[in-house]
Amino acid sequence: MEVAKFELVSEEEYERAKKEFITANKMSIPFLPYDKLLLPKRGTKKSAGYDFFSPFSDTVDMRTPGPLSKVMIPTMVKIKFYEGCDDYFLAIYIRSSMGMKGIKLSNQVGVIDADYYNNQTNEGNIGVLLENQKHLFERATPFGFGYQIKPGDKICQGVIQKYFTAEEAEATDERTGGFGSSGN
């Protein structure tokens, strides 16, 4: 049963997110051209997760410890849930192959609510905060504890899930922003 579709963010949001990434990380990593960005897709016909791909056109080297031990990656992708599918969300998980290499999602699981789509702050651009924790269980190599994200790498996976509510007063607030906008 199809309940949603993935879309690229607009070219304006793409440019805004690129600039924000470069400013926040104090490095000029080139991104793929807008027309070369990839939408998430399942690896096999029975895969639950949709693989998200690196939007970079060059290698990002995550080093730990240090300022690049955590990297917020704008995927340049958003998800639109179809009419009547407001009780679904997209859960973002780390790929098992990355977890085995010491890379995790900093918040463990990302939850993308149906009303995140086209929000005022970032248009629903799904971001993933990756954290390099190789130093916790590996010995340093001559190159330190680096982890490289290469162009086209699968960086996380999203699983569309249904949720249920408990007996309570209905929430009436409307989403107006992006990351963390529904409260602390």
Phi, psi (deg, nearest 5) at residue 135? -65, -15
List of residues 6+ apart from 39 with CB closer than 8 A: 6, 7, 8, 77
Report the chain's mean pLDDT, rounded to a whole number. Answer: 87
Task: Give the pLDDT band of residue 60 (cuts 50, 70, 90).
Answer: confident
pTM above 0.75, yes or no: yes
Q: What is the CA radius of gyration of the chain?
A: 17
Tell me which DSSP letter residue 58 carries. Answer: S
Q: Return the percentage of the chain with pLDDT > 70, whole number.
A: 84
Q: Which of 46-55, 58-67, 90-99 has the lowest mean pLDDT?
A: 58-67
- What is the predicted pLDDT for the residue at 68? 65
- What is the predicted pLDDT for the residue at 139? 62
Are 99 and 130 spatial neighbours (Cβ–Cβ below 8 Å)?
A: no
Distances (CA, A) of 148 to 22, 23, 60: 17, 20, 6
